[in-house]
Structure 1
Amino acid sequence: MEINELTEAERRVWRAFATGTAVDFRAGDDEDAAQGAQWGPERTVRASVLRALLLNGPQEPGEIAALKLAGARITGVLDLRYGATDFAVRLSHCHFHEVPELYGARFRQLNLSHSALPGLIAATLRVEGVLRLTDCRITGPVRLGGAHISGALFLERARLSAPDDPEPVLRLHHAEIGDDLWAPGMRADGQVQLDGAAVAGTVNLEGAHFHNPGATAISALRLETGSDLRMRFLRTQGRVDLRGSRIPARFDLTRAQLSNPDGTALRLSSCTVGELWLLKGVISGILNLRRAHLDVLYLDPEMLPAKVFLSDLTYTTLTPHEPAERRLPMLERDPRYEPHAYEQLTAAYRRIGDDYAARLVQLAKQRRLRTTRAWYGRVWGYVQDATVGYGFRPLRAAVWLLSLLAIGSIAYAVHHPRPLKASEAPHFNPVFYTLDLLLPVISFGQEDAFAPAGWYQYLAYGLIITGWILATTVVTGVTRNVSRQ
């Protein structure tokens, strides 16, 4: 391209390129690139001119060429498909009239900060340094699937929307980022797709807003990070799906508000996470933690939604320490009875030495199990619960035994049962006679020597049956306690 074919604005950019000099067409720092369609020819640059510069631009010995342009209206398609440039590219505060096509292109560094674009086609893009989309306003799909970015990807405060396109507003599936994915304050109207992406550093989405009601707001299946996943103060409308992801450090959802009332709000099934923080936020919808593996679970009971799936969830530490009464609703909100969930909570309490809370969890487990039994199993369960709390409250048995002992002793003291053989019968003792009826193993010689009649006989039958029930449940509880020790 000859310089005499260029407009005055384009000649200015052309001459500045060889020395890496910045060209700024802005009238002020507060200009909005989204209004760039109104900018005149004095700040309009054709995309074909930029393409010619990046592929075969002029260079001067001893100078570092670079394209540094701000506040320009760029017309036409910036088509660099499969192209490669060794120059740094900064097109900030620019208004793109057409969607840039950067499929398979290779850049040393690319900066589009504060620009307005109708979309971005950059799948399999290669950037040796940093890709900056800070404060961009993009009104069409951003396609970065399979991109390789050696440095960081910056999307802080970017605004992404694609009102006329059903595909995800941001595609980063199978992308590889050698440093951080930095996007605090980002807003997206549509799905953000991170399936299979690998980020060597931290993924920062603090204060971001994702809006895709009734569908998936964030799809990050099998996402892998090298450090934290920060979602503090996150706001979502739609499903957040991180199934199978690996986050070795902290996954922080402190004060996040996740909303998908008619379905799953947060899905972490089969995830492996170092620390999961669910504190002081709100989850409206289903929380799915099935098969997740967590080293530490920081969980605020108030953040739990009405329905939680916990099948095969494992965690080593549960914090902060809360009474069992505040932790049990988490288990009861799973529609299915999951014995493993109760065992996990029991183990967490025993690990910190709170054996009382562990017993309460085991008692709650037996009560939940009772609801799954047939009617006769439920009846037997109610009996064990009322008598000795399934063996976890053995002192109840002492109260029952003493009460029955008092009733039987008084009844048989008032009306002595007749001796079977008067000449051989021992002296009648109503207390030891009642003990003989209640205790199925120990014998004081009273029960075999005397035979009650009438309703006293039915009382004896009741004492024998009750004694067997109490003895069975007490022995079960004692055995359980001994095995725990």
Structure 2
Amino acid sequence: MEINDLTRAEERVWRAFPRGEAVDFRTDGDEDAAAGGDWGPERTLRASVLRALLASAPQEDGEIATLRVNGARITGVLDLTYAVVDHPISLRSCYFTDPPYMYGAQLRRLSLRGSVLPALDLGGARVEGVVQLSDSRVRGRVQLMASQISGALILERAELTAPDAREPVLNLQRTVLEDDLWAPGLRAHGEVRLNGSTVNGSVNLTDARLRRPGQVALDAVTLGVEGDLLLRQADVEGWIGLRGARVAGRLDLSYARVSNPGDMALRASSCTVGELWLRRGEPLDGGLNLRRAQVEVLFVEPEKLPDTVRLDGLVYTTLTPHEPAERRLPMLECDDDAYVPHAYEQLTAAYRRIGDEDAARLVQLAKQRRHRRTLPWYGRLWGQVQDATVGYGFRPLRAAIWLLSLLAVGSVSYALHHPPALKPDEAPPFNPVFYTLDLLLPVISFGQEGAFAPKGAYQYLSYVLVLTGWILATSVVAGVTRTVSRQ
């Protein structure tokens, strides 16, 4: 392309390019690029001119050629498909009439900060530096599938809207980022897809607003993050999918609002997380699925949990903040009324690691009571007996209280009404206390029970004491056996 074929606006850019100088067409530093459709020829650039400039413009010795344009209206398709561009590209606060195509391109650096675009295709691209899309507004898909970016991808305060709700508004599937995905304040009206991607830095979605009601809003299946995944103060309508994801640092949903009523709000089954923070703010509006997940530190406040929590196979080392067992137990009852013994064992182990044996015993007692509801009627009946007598072995003092109470009742009753001796000449002196002990203790004999025979109501009392003694003895043995087997 000859310079004689250029408009005055294009000639300014053409001459500034070899020296890396910026060309600013803005009349006001705060003007809105959304009004770019009305900009006149004095600030209009043809995309074909920019493409020719990047491909063949002369360079000056000692200067770094850079395309730097602010506030221009760019007409036509900026087609850099499979192009190798050695110069940084900065098209800030520009208005694009057509979507730029950069599929498979090799770029040094790309900045479209504050620009308005119909769509953007960077699929399969290789970028040596940063891709800057902060404050940009894109009315169609942003496609970066299978791209590789050596720097960060910055989408701070970007607004993305997909006209086709079936397609992701931001597609980062199988993308490799050597630095951060930096998107605090992102506004996405459609699916954000990160499944299969690798981020060697952190993913920052603090204060993001993701809208896709009733469907997946953030699809991050098998995502790998070497740093943190931050969703602090995020507002998500739809569900978050993290199945099989790996977050080496912190998965932080502090103050976040996630709403998917009637279904799962957070699906994080089989994921591996360094720290999972569910704290502050309103509870999840929908279920929480952590089945088969592995978490080093589980920072969960009971108020943040929804009514449905699936914990089968969840493994965690530390549970914080420290709460009484009574406040932690409700989350174990939320798995669609299913009995999940593994969840009770994990909670027990967490309390024992910090030396809270009382809380650990309370969790184990709750486990036995929950298990009892799965048994047939006779198993439930026997469980009720064990619970009432010795608390399944976790309340051994209950047996002593029962024995002392029955001993007192029997001793007073038989002290007031001595049972007659079977053989008066051979019977030992009657002792109401030891006679009652003979009835209550099935394996110990003081020689009283066989020597005396009560009558009437006192005979029925002896039957009750004998039967109760056997039940107490069996329950104590069962409780002790359970305690020894746990240890």
TM over 0.5: yes
Q: Choose from 363, 384, 387 the match for 1:382.
A: 384
Q: Does 1:437 align with 2:450?
A: no
Q: Which residue of 1 aligns with 2:475?
A: 473
Q: CA deviation at 1:459?
A: 2.1
Aligned mates of 1:407, 1:388 — CA distance in 2: 20
Q: Which residue of 1 aligns with 2:350?
A: 348
Aligned mates of 2:318, 2:471 — CA distance in 1: 38
Q: Which residue of 1 aligns with 2:275?
A: 275
Q: Which residue of 2 aligns with 1:317?
A: 318
1:126-148 Cα shifts (integer Å, max 9, x gaps): 10111111111011011111110
Residue type of the alignment partner of 1:230: L
1:229-252 Cα shifts (integer Å, max 9, x gaps): 111111101001111111111111
Q: Which residue of 1 aligns with 2:300?
A: 299
Q: Secondary structure at the match of 2:29?
A: coil
Q: CA deviation at 1:329?
A: 1.0
Q: Choose from 437, 460, 477 the match for 2:462.
A: 460
Q: Does 1:25 align with 2:55?
A: no
CA contact (8 A) 2:238 2:259 kept: yes
Residue type of the alignment partner of 2:167: E
Residue type of the alignment partner of 1:406: A
Aligned mates of 2:52, 2:462 — CA distance in 1: 106
1:207-257 Cα shifts (integer Å, max 9, x gaps): 111111000010000111111111111110100111111111111111111
Among all aligned residue pairs of Structure 1 and Structure 2, give the percentage whose two residues are the same amino acid. Answer: 64
Q: Which residue of 2 aligns with 1:188?
A: 188
Aligned mates of 1:173, 1:145 — CA distance in 2: 5
Q: CA deviation at 1:165?
A: 4.6
Aligned mates of 1:221, 1:164 — CA distance in 2: 22
Instruction: After superposing the two structures, state which structure 1 stretch, 96-105 or 450-459, moved more.
Output: 450-459
CA contact (8 A) 1:214 1:262 kept: no
Aligned mates of 1:165, 1:253 — CA distance in 2: 26
Aligned mates of 1:98, 1:121 — CA distance in 2: 11
Residue type of the alignment partner of 1:426: P
CA contact (8 A) 2:107 2:127 kept: yes
Q: CA deviation at 1:37?
A: 0.8
Q: CA deviation at 1:39?
A: 0.8
**Structure 2: which 5+ runs fail to align?**
none
Q: Which residue of 2 aligns with 1:110?
A: 110
Q: Secondary structure at the match of 2:19?
A: coil
Q: CA deviation at 1:424?
A: 2.2
TM normalised by structure 2 equals: 0.97
Q: Which residue of 2 aligns with 1:120?
A: 120
CA contact (8 A) 2:278 2:301 kept: yes
Residue type of the alignment partner of 1:340: H
Q: Secondary structure at the match of 2:299?
A: strand
**Structure 1: which 5+ runs fail to align?**
none
Q: CA deviation at 1:13?
A: 1.0
Residue type of the alignment partner of 2:225: T
CA contact (8 A) 2:312 2:342 kept: yes
Q: CA deviation at 1:427?
A: 1.7
1:328-377 Cα shifts (integer Å, max 9, x gaps): 11111222111111111111111111111111111111111111111111
Q: Which residue of 2 aligns with 1:338?
A: 340
Q: Which residue of 2 aligns with 1:405?
A: 407
Aligned mates of 1:84, 1:462 — CA distance in 2: 94
Q: Secondary structure at the match of 1:80?
A: coil
Matches within 5 A, 1:413-428: 413-428=415-430
Q: CA deviation at 1:38?
A: 1.0
Aligned mates of 1:452, 1:41 — CA distance in 2: 117
Aligned mates of 1:442, 1:383 — CA distance in 2: 23
CA contact (8 A) 1:141 1:165 kept: no
TM normalised by structure 1 equals: 0.97
Q: Which residue of 1 aligns with 2:364?
A: 362
Residue type of the alignment partner of 2:302: P
Q: Secondary structure at the match of 1:26?
A: coil
CA contact (8 A) 1:140 1:165 kept: no
Residue type of the alignment partner of 2:315: T
Aligned mates of 1:184, 1:230 — CA distance in 2: 9
Q: Which residue of 2 aligns with 1:326?
A: 327
Aligned mates of 1:54, 1:470 — CA distance in 2: 90
Q: Which residue of 2 aligns with 1:265?
A: 265
Residue type of the alignment partner of 2:383: G
Q: Which residue of 1 aligns with 2:290?
A: 289
Residue type of the alignment partner of 2:158: A
CA contact (8 A) 2:149 2:178 kept: yes
Aligned mates of 1:446, 1:108 — CA distance in 2: 100
Aligned mates of 2:349, 2:63 — CA distance in 1: 67
Q: Secondary structure at the match of 2:240?
A: strand
Closer, same or farther: CA 83–165 of 1 in aligned 2, 3 Å: farther
CA contact (8 A) 1:218 1:240 kept: yes
Residue type of the alignment partner of 1:84: V
Instruction: After superposing the two structures, state which structure 1 stretch, 329-338 or 90-99, moved more.
Output: 329-338
Q: Does 1:371 align with 2:373?
A: yes
CA contact (8 A) 1:140 1:161 kept: yes
CA contact (8 A) 2:165 2:190 kept: no
Q: CA deviation at 1:196?
A: 0.7
Q: CA RMSD, aligned part only?
A: 1.4
Closer, same or farther: CA 376–389 of 1 in aligned 2, 3 Å: same
